[in-house]
Amino acid sequence: MNTSPSPLSRADTHPAWLPDQAFAPIGRRRVAIAGADPLIETLAAEIAATTAAHGGTLTRSAATAAEDVQQDLVFAVSPSAPDDESFRLVRRSGSVTVTARSDRGLLHGFFHVVRLGERAFTDPDVDQTHAPAVALRVLDHWDNMDLHPVMGAVERGYAGGSIFFDPGDGLPGSGRVRDDLSRIAAYARLLASIGINRVALNNVNVHAREARLLTDDLPHVARIADIFRRWGIRVHLSVSWASPVLLGGLESSDPFDDGVIRWWADAADRVWAAIPDFGGFVIKADSEGQPGPFAYGRDHADGANMLADAVAPHGGLVHWRAFVYNHTQDWRDRSTDRARAAYDHFSPLDGRFRDNVIVQVKYGPMDFQTREPVSPVLAAMPHTRLALELQVTQEYTGQQQHAVYLAPQWSEILRFDFGERGTVTELATGGFAAVANVGTDEFWTGHPFAQANLYAYGRLSWDPNASAEALLDEWLALTFPDEPAPVAQAVHDILDESWLTYEQYTAPLGVGFMVRPGHHYGPDVDGYEYTPWGTYHFADRDGVGVDRTVATGTGYAGLYPQPWRDVYESLETCPDELLLFFHHVPYTHVLHSGKTVIQHIYDTHFEGVERVERYVIAWERVRGSVPDARLADRVADRLAEQVRSAIEWRDQINTYFLRKSGMPDAHGRTIY
Ligand code: GCV
């Protein structure tokens, strides 16, 4: 019997949703594992550690075993499952057998049993097959190697430094892959437990230092890949379109240039020689200053296909981002609508991308706002593999200072139904990708509750139909196994509606932005109004909102298939929460809710703050009974900041609109 210690009994790392106690129901039992594939060693080490700690036993055999009546829990490779990642769970009178076609499936099955806890053995008999909804479940890290002068170690990172890269002495060029990768081992384990199977290591804004991950640093990338491999996760890199120039000394990056084509093919050969199961490249091209094929008069299909051909012999993928828009727009120009940009650039290219290209589309047409309509690009490219891109890191949703549980938003997006073309889940044939939210912070995510977002992203990417509330329960039961029930209730009270609460006290009715330019934290109603970024609200003394109708506006509403085109075009049918995204209306416009726009703005902003004040009370009530005092304090500190910030949002937004409109609050509350 293998009794090696748990790979995560380290005091310096918060166990997140995998504390040792979460394994106790397995650890108390007689467990058998049959099979000898690489991930079975991972599985065996997990079970050996928990059975050693909790009094159970582990029996191993190399051969494939049938159901073993002597055991409580059997893991065995068997051809029964439909694909490599699926698993079958059979429970008969309290004995559980997990079978899978591959070791990857068995590992997923193991974590499924962990999630079930004692119920895995006590629930009624069952015979179920579990399969992931999509094959590619990706986390994108926006980690920098050198400390970026504005973005720091992790672009839009709110949880300390990069877990992958050590910034050295902070001088340009001194960043490198960390020597000590133990934290990555813990991270890989967490990700495997929620079904993530791909990780991109570095920022899509590829600076000079990170560009060299593709060349000089390959042995170090290989060290990271070795760790992820033990958990069934493949590594990807973001690459610069200009790599042939930056790294190869070529004069151009023209995708039609033979030298460039050869350079990428050689680069791919080197990468796969170092890392045989390397996943592929992520690329942000012609976007926010990143180089791309436009410079050579080529389009994005030309660019993506050239890279795709370079990686195809190795079975590699290219994740090509559709986040392309003009960020040097003239705010005086009312004809250019940033919301249209991805659609206008990409939908004409449908059908031209190679099979190993995945066009990665942000969920909304703008940029990860608290509320946006679902991107029409998702329904406009039926002959292209599309990935839905979400943002787990809370750039625009409180930066992990505010408690905002994002799973309800993601559920809404995933279930959004484009009618005949299908739901977002059905259209995301290239899977899901999301920007990660972890760092070197002791709780991984800054706000301990932001762990729930990472957890929920992984679980939803496996099962997009899972309910946000049930996932929160799962996360709570695993993360706080010893917590008294009132603590779990308090976390629910805070998180259940936290996304809507955040929406209430920030930019109203889908109009978006209104954040401080640059860092994007806190309110600044006109911060972006006269800038080149294309993010406007057009508030004046009479009204607010962006006219994106076909009849009188930018025509954006017309990019949706029916029925959405008509729903969004019409003031009568446009949902309240998206009204100002699609329409410019007077402050006196009456919403479906029966309130005027101006009164809605005042009411939601007062109510949003009141809700956060209730969150503070809810946490104070239970804080003393949370066994982990540091965690309890961290949550309390963040809630205090959330109240402060929410009040600032309320007062700036309400004051702005009171001064613009001259219309008083019907309830006479204080506005400045
Ligand atoms: C990585 C937004 C963010 C940028 C980010 C960009 C992107 O604009 O503010 O920091 O850059 O999205 O998704 O590429």
Bond before 484 cis per omega within 30 degrees: no
Ligand 1: centre distance to CA 564 (Å): 28
Q: Which residues pair with 358 in a beta bridge?
A: 319, 385
Q: Is 363 in the pocket of ligand 1 (CB under 6 A)?
A: no
Q: Is 156 in the pocket of ligand 1 (CB under 6 A)?
A: yes
Residue 6 pLDDT > 50, yes or no? Answer: no
8-state DSSP, 506: S
Nearest CA to ligand 1 atom 8: 367
Ligand 1: centre distance to CA 435 (Å): 10
> Ligand 1 pocket check: which of 238, 288, 528 to mutate, most ligand atoms within 8 Å of Cβ?
288
Choosing from 266, 288, 330, 526, the catalytic residue is 288
Nearest CA to ligand 1 atom 11: 205
Ligand 1: centre distance to CA 378 (Å): 19
Predicted confidence at residue 481, as pLDDT, reads: 86
Q: Is 284 in the pocket of ligand 1 (CB under 6 A)?
A: yes
The neighbour count for residue 255, using CB atoms within 10 Å, is 24
Strand ranges (E), 440-492: none
Atom of ligand 1 nearest to the CA of 155: 10
- Start-to-end CA span in the chain (Å): 70
Predicted confidence at residue 64, as pLDDT, reads: 54
Q: Is 323 in the pocket of ligand 1 (CB under 6 A)?
A: yes
Average pLDDT for 531-555:
98
Predicted confidence at residue 63, as pLDDT, reads: 67
Q: Is 375 in the pocket of ligand 1 (CB under 6 A)?
A: no
Nearest to 280 by CA among 355, 187, 373: 355
Atom of ligand 1 nearest to the CA of 435: 13
Ligand 1: centre distance to CA 8 (Å): 33
Six token digits for residue 506: 């920030």
Six token digits for residue 569: 């075009």
Ligand 1: centre distance to CA 479 (Å): 31
Q: Is 204 in the pocket of ligand 1 (CB under 6 A)?
A: yes
Nearest to 218 by CA among 147, 266, 151: 266
Q: Is 155 in the pocket of ligand 1 (CB under 6 A)?
A: yes
Average pLDDT for 421-427:
98
Predicted confidence at residue 666, as pLDDT, reads: 98
Residue 188 pLDDT > 60, yes or no? Answer: yes
288 in active site: yes
Please report which confidence band the pLDDT of residue 2 belongs to, taking 50, 70 and 90 as the band edges.
very low
Nearest CA to ligand 1 atom 12: 367
The percent of residues above 90 in pLDDT, for the chain, comes to 94
Ligand 1: centre distance to CA 84 (Å): 34
pLDDT tens per residue across span 152-168:
999 999 999 999 999 99
pLDDT tens per residue across span 56-92:
999 998 765 555 558 999 999 988 777 889 999 999 9
Ligand 1: centre distance to CA 433 (Å): 14
Atom of ligand 1 nearest to the CA of 389: 13
Choosing from 103, 254, 286, 395, the catalytic residue is 395
Residue 10 pLDDT > 60, yes or no? Answer: no
Instruction: Output the CA angle 214-218-219, nearest 5 degrees.
Output: 175
Residue 627 pLDDT > 60, yes or no? Answer: yes
Q: Which of 114-128, 398-412, 476-490, 556-570 has the lowest mean pLDDT?
A: 476-490
Predicted confidence at residue 55, as pLDDT, reads: 98
258 in active site: no
Return the SS3 of 25. Answer: helix
Q: Is 142 in the pocket of ligand 1 (CB under 6 A)?
A: yes
The percent of residues above 70 in pLDDT, for the chain, comes to 97
The dihedral over CA atoms of 575, 577, 581, 583, expressed in degrees to the nearest 10, equals 50
Predicted confidence at residue 371, as pLDDT, reads: 98
- Plot region of 249 (φ>0 → left; ψ -120 to 50 → alpha; else → beta): left
Buried b (16+ CB within 10 A) or exposed e, 335-351: eebbbbbbbebbbebbe
Predicted confidence at residue 65, as pLDDT, reads: 54
Choosing from 143, 367, 569, 665, the catalytic residue is 367
Buried b (16+ CB within 10 A) or exposed e, 99-127: bbbbbbbbbbbbbbbbbbbeebbeeeeee
Residues comprising the chain, all counted: 672
Ligand 1: centre distance to CA 587 (Å): 32
Ligand 1: centre distance to CA 204 (Å): 8
Atom of ligand 1 nearest to the CA of 156: 10
Ligand 1: centre distance to CA 59 (Å): 49
Q: Is 338 in the pocket of ligand 1 (CB under 6 A)?
A: no
Atom of ligand 1 nearest to the CA of 205: 1
8-state DSSP, 423: B
DSSP per position, 326-393: -SS--TT-TT--GGGHHHHHHGGGTT-S-TTEEEEEESSSSSS-SS-PPPGGGGT-TTSEEEEEEE-S
Strand (E) or helix (H) holding 153? strand 152-154
Atom of ligand 1 nearest to the CA of 142: 1
Q: Is 367 in the pocket of ligand 1 (CB under 6 A)?
A: yes
Average pLDDT, the chain: 95
Ligand 1: centre distance to CA 260 (Å): 27
Atom of ligand 1 nearest to the CA of 391: 13
Q: Is 205 in the pocket of ligand 1 (CB under 6 A)?
A: yes
> Ligand 1 pocket check: which of 360, 367, 437, 516 to mutate, most ligand atoms within 8 Å of Cβ?
367
477, burial (CB in 10 Å: exposed 0-12, middle 13-18, buried 19+):
middle
> Ligand 1 pocket check: which of 148, 156, 282 to mutate, most ligand atoms within 8 Å of Cβ?
156
Q: Is 210 in the pocket of ligand 1 (CB under 6 A)?
A: no
Atom of ligand 1 nearest to the CA of 362: 13
Q: Which residues contact 210 (CB under 8 A, 6 or more apart)?
A: 144, 145, 202, 203, 238, 240
83 in active site: no
